[in-house]
Amino acid sequence: MKKQQLEILLQRVKGHPKPAPGLEQYSTPATIAADVLWFAYGEGDIAGKKVVDLGCGTGILGIGAKLLGAEEVISLDVDEAALGVAMQNASALGVDLSLLTVDVKDFPEPADTVLMNPPFGAQKSDLHADTTFLERALATAPVTYTFHKAETEPFVRQRIVELGGEATHRKTYAFPLPHSMPFHTEAVKEVPVVMLRVLRKSS
């Protein structure tokens, strides 16, 4: 499979029909998801691996990992409606995902690679939500691919070091957030986002 083919397939993944502001349910665009997944595949972190998608939403990262040859993909979210759409998306693209309704804090299984586009912690009800995801990710797998608002990168990098990790690679994106929440005033707002590949250091 080529990167462009992956992107075309991921464009078929449906987003959340009614995203909840408190959960910051912004779908990862197919172009960005394909770019990160293709990079992770090139790093040897996808094919034949056990991959976990923390806060999977409607499943785009986990589905992409499976399309690129992941041996097993576990996708989890607290939102059953999102998981329902993820199940439909996986079925439409002919891939098998293990879908779990569980809070990331309560996920105990080890894996090879974590993929996640966590809440940015922008809402007052969930400040620093992304650091909760980071903690679980580094406890789950030796390699993590994670998205964060670019303006929080220094804080995120500091937290990664505190958790015993090291950011080995970095990519930047303009993340288009469509007008899907009541408080949005623009049709589409582009938010600078950084993706970090994080390696858990051996203890």
Domain total in the chain: 1
The band of 123, judged by pLDDT with boundaries at 50, 70 and 90, is: very low
Total residue length of the chain: 203
Order across the sheet with 72-77: list the strands.
Answer: 98-101, 72-77, 50-54, 113-116, 143-149, 188-200, 165-178
Burial of 178 (0-12, 13-18, 19+ CB in 10 A): middle
pTM of the model: 0.90
* CATH assignment at residue 119: 3.40.50.150
Q: What is the residue range of 148's domain?
A: 3-200
pLDDT, tens only, 48-90 = 999 999 999 999 999 999 999 999 999 999 999 999 999 999 9
Flag the least confident range among 30-44, 55-69, 111-125: 111-125
Q: What percent of the chain has pLDDT over 70?
A: 84
Indicate whether 120 pLDDT > 80. Answer: no
